[in-house]
Structure 1
Amino acid sequence: MNNYYNKYKSSIGLQMISAVIIGTIFGSLLPQFSSIYQFLGKAFISLVSMVILPLVFPVIVLSVAEILNKESLGKLILKSILYFFIITTIITGIFVTGSYLLKFGQGIDIGQQKTSLNGLTNNTNLNDFLLGIIPANIFKSLSQGSLLPVVVFAIFLGFGIGSLENRKNSIFINALHVWVDAIYKIVELIIKWVAPFGVFGFIASDVATTGFEKLISLGEFVIGTYVAYSILALFFYPLLAYIFELNYFQLIKSIWNLLLLAFISGSSSVVLPELLKRLKNNGSDENITDLVVPLGYTFNLQGAAVYFSIATIYIVNVYNINLSTSQIIYTIFILSLIGKTAATVPSGAIVVLLASATMLGLPKEGVALIFAVDFFVNAGRTALNVLGQGMTVLIIEKLNKKYLF
């Protein structure tokens, strides 16, 4: 299975690179077909948008329900998730605020038009915002594609299902697993068979209308993203290790080959079994390791938190969108929440970014362009996700011993 997944990831990466190259050639030599190129790109975005709600809703329901079902470890699970949300929200807040203040992406001319955040007013009213996320009519929220109220309802539904006796909820939970697996398969097919044409369409259309400037800006995005990754690995993680009295460099030394494998393969799943074994061999508590690492693969993707923050603000700045303080806070909240809903989906980055862009009112074309270079930024993102899991096990273990929670 891992060999197949590695082959799949590698194939998709090569297809994305090929799509960028071929799209550049076609857009340059045959600009008269720009409308066709644009159609291909928009069709791809529509197909991905189609699966966002059907995916996010059951994933959240299952996550909450299955956590509540594990009564013996319930307290530790809830404490771990609380830590996951705190740390990923802090990371998101740092990189959203930092990249916006540093104007990452601003001044790049890609032929875009001045736009605004359609999903927010300049001065978001707290009462209206809180009332807006409560789904007075869940069917209306579903039909309108209002993601945040659907997420809130999914949390409550997951709590209700998880509180029932196992014999009562097992059938429904099994059905949701089948549904999620089916949606995963749909996403995989869309990415595998449609994404190369969609990326080709967007690149060809942009080159045909605005030249090569947009491609150059994508290179700047990749470089800027790796600068952000470096800040997380060289400054934030060592600071966290210092606070919790951990040997950060000893951790890296003990799992460096797993980090390298994750970087090369672009998949954190391939190192999961060996990561569990390595951490336990190094003295980590077996129960905490077996709980925190698998749970963290969904709720604790710290490298992904950096990527989603940088990518979102890059789109904001490229399109010359001005954010108020309340909008920045709202953006941090949305990315912290949505970034945990599609972590296990093949090429799930575009699903998360599109979901966030929809809620924030950002241009979806910007997301599609960033996806064209996702192959390059995914390597660093994946390695940091794995390193973050190792750090979290040591921190949770330290907190468990110190505070006995």
Structure 2
Amino acid sequence: MATKRIKAPGLAWQILIGLILGIVLGALLHNHPETRDWAVGSILQPAGDIFIRLIKMIVVPIVISSLIVGIAGMGDAKKLGRIGLRTILYFEVITTIAIVIGLLLANLFHPGSGIDMSSLSTVDISSYTETTKEVEQGHGFADTLLSLIPTNVVAALANGDMLAIIFFSVLFGLGLAGLPNELRDPFLTIMRGTSEAMFRVTNMIMRYAPIGVFALIAVTVANFGFSSLIPLIKLVALVYAAILFFALVILGGIARVCGINIFTLIRILKDELLLAYSTSSSETVLPRIMKKMEDFGAPKAITSFVIPTGYSFNLDGSTLYQSIAAIFLAQLYGIDLSIGQQITLVVTLMVTSKGIAGVPGVSFVVLLATLGSVGIPLEGLAFIAGVDRIMDMARTALNVVGNALAAIVIAKWDGSYDANKGEHYFETRAEEKVARRERREARREHRRTHD
């Protein structure tokens, strides 16, 4: 008699289970330093790093191949310029709204008032100092503009300099579009094949995601525990509330204007949101967001340009957090910032937060580079460094939603959104699942027949 096979949980459930088990293990290890150091250094950290490295390995080839295919397929430099202008304008408006909302909420709820600084455990932030100096010395408007243009394309690829890679890929795509068909089409076919192959590689790598999530979250909890949250609970609670408000009200309102329900978008991105939240890295989900938004109706030319560019110019969660954290630290030291100083803070954050998404601990680095402009002591960041990862998880998830929505907004604005694909997205996914299940059953039946 045939036994009924238990259906394996989907990716979202696997990631969630990995997240919960990682938190439990991290909490158990936190109070046993010797066991913790061995487990983190020998097993957990390497297991988590494997996942991050696998994702970083595929990001650059996916961005290059997708952009070249999209731009060459568009074949119109005028249209690309229009899309680029609209994209940057949209990003600037949204990130400015995020900064202003962060300032308003921090001024309204005063998360830094009434906290006993002697109760806060400090963390060494010297590892960010050199990076911050580089950001401060080379992050004016002219430097940001120059950083778009790589002096050496191979070096830009090796360093993962996403803005330079995007710039080169766009120019290359435009050059390819201008070639005769007999010269353009063979290379375009290779690029299409590369893009599709890399998305298949992404699906392979995602099978390891639950293990990577388990390891990364276990390391975080094992190192910091939950006790570090207690004196900073007001800050963490306000950041999470602000991110929820921004996602559901601001982005939800924009989605509604575009004829989309924000909860539908969140449902589409549930796997990616769980993954981005638990790894604190939006890079881990870049390929899948691009593919899903293309399947949802945004053309490849737009998803392959808007979403990677958003990783440098549209970090809604990060800018929202930075403005709250800056006011929190001012309140912590009893510094009363004037309206003028807060406007200076907004402008400085707008400029400093652009184009450094590839820098490790980017939000921390931006804060270090910004606080001095309004006289807030940099040492205050040591008090929030211990819980920065917990807040980083939420702001990363918001960055994912913001960039996915941006692709749909620009596609709608450009009039190239495929409403039919959007309406039938879930039906198509269901049909694909049934087809995959039938293929698996057919393979199993074939093996049983020939055994």
TM-score where L is the length of structure 1: 0.60
1:264 CA drift (Å) = 1.6
Out of 302, 315, 318, the residue aligned to residue 288 of structure 1 is 302
Per-residue deviation, residues 183-211 of structure 1 (Å, max 9, x unmatched): xxxxxxxxxxxxx9xx99xxxxxxxxxxx
Q: Distance in 2 between matches of 1:18 and 1:81?
A: 46
Q: Distance in 2 between matches of 1:75 and 1:156?
A: 19
Q: Distance in 2 between matches of 1:251 and 1:280?
A: 13
Match of 2:440 in 1: none
Per-residue deviation, residues 364-383 of structure 1 (Å, max 9, x unmatched): 12112212111211111111
Q: Distance in 1 between matches of 2:282 and 2:29?
A: 25
What aligned pairs does 1:356-367 form with structure 2 within 5 A after superposition? 356-367=370-381
1:221 CA drift (Å) = 1.7
Q: Distance in 2 between matches of 1:332 and 1:394?
A: 27
What aligned pairs does 1:66-145 form with structure 2 within 5 A after superposition? 72=77, 73-111=80-118
1:392 CA drift (Å) = 0.7
Q: Which moved more, 1:100-109 or 1:223-232?
A: 100-109
SS in 1 for 2:140: helix
SS in 1 for 2:100: helix
Q: Distance in 2 between matches of 1:264 and 1:175?
A: 31
Q: Distance in 1 between matches of 2:135 and 2:366?
A: 15
1:21 CA drift (Å) = 7.8
| Closer/same/farther in 2, CA of residues 344 and 156 from structure 1, 3 Å limit | closer
SS in 1 for 2:269: helix
| Closer/same/farther in 2, CA of residues 255 and 180 from structure 1, 3 Å limit | closer
1:266 is the counterpart of 2:280: yes
Is contact 1:81–1:299 with CA below 8 Å preserved after alignment? yes
1:147 is matched by which residue type in structure 2?
E
Per-residue deviation, residues 251-310 of structure 1 (Å, max 9, x unmatched): 112111211111122211111111111111122211111111111111111111111111
1:74 CA drift (Å) = 3.4
SS in 2 for 1:343: coil
Q: Distance in 2 between matches of 1:20 and 1:317?
A: 31
Q: Distance in 1 between matches of 2:82 and 2:32?
A: 53
Identify which of structures 1 and 2 has the higher relative contact order when contacts are C-alpha pairs closer than 8 Å and 6+ apart: 1
Match of 2:213 in 1: none
1:323 CA drift (Å) = 1.4
1:74 is matched by which residue type in structure 2?
G
Out of 134, 141, 146, the residue aligned to residue 152 of structure 1 is 141
> How many equivalent pairs are there?
285
1:368 is the counterpart of 2:382: yes
Q: Distance in 2 between matches of 1:158 and 1:262?
A: 27
Is contact 2:111–2:234 with CA below 8 Å preserved after alignment? no
What aligned pairs does 1:194-343 form with structure 2 within 5 A after superposition? 216-343=230-357
| Closer/same/farther in 2, CA of residues 268 and 156 from structure 1, 3 Å limit | closer
Q: Distance in 1 between matches of 2:259 and 2:355?
A: 31
CA radius of gyration, larger in? 2
1:78 CA drift (Å) = 2.8
2:141 is matched by which residue type in structure 1?
V
1:76 CA drift (Å) = 1.8
1:177 CA drift (Å) = 6.7
Per-residue deviation, residues 47-96 of structure 1 (Å, max 9, x unmatched): xxxxxxxxxxxxxxxxxxxxxx9993333223211211111011111211
Is contact 2:306–2:407 with CA below 8 Å preserved after alignment? yes
Q: Which runs of 5+ in 2 are unaligned?
A: 1-14, 34-70, 120-132, 162-219, 418-451
Is contact 2:91–2:314 with CA below 8 Å preserved after alignment? yes
Q: Distance in 2 between matches of 1:302 and 1:371?
A: 20
Is contact 2:344–2:373 with CA below 8 Å preserved after alignment? no
1:150 CA drift (Å) = 4.9
| Closer/same/farther in 2, CA of residues 106 and 81 from structure 1, 3 Å limit | same
Per-residue deviation, residues 332-384 of structure 1 (Å, max 9, x unmatched): 11112212242222222221111112333211121122121112111111111
Q: Distance in 2 between matches of 1:376 and 1:84?
A: 25
1:17 CA drift (Å) = 9.2
Q: Which runs of 5+ in 1 are unaligned?
A: 1-5, 24-68, 113-143, 163-168, 182-195, 201-211
- Taking only the aligned residue pairs, the percentage that are identical comes to 34
| Closer/same/farther in 2, CA of residues 153 and 316 from structure 1, 3 Å limit | same
Aligned Cα root-mean-square deviation (Å): 3.9
1:243 CA drift (Å) = 2.9
SS in 1 for 2:117: coil
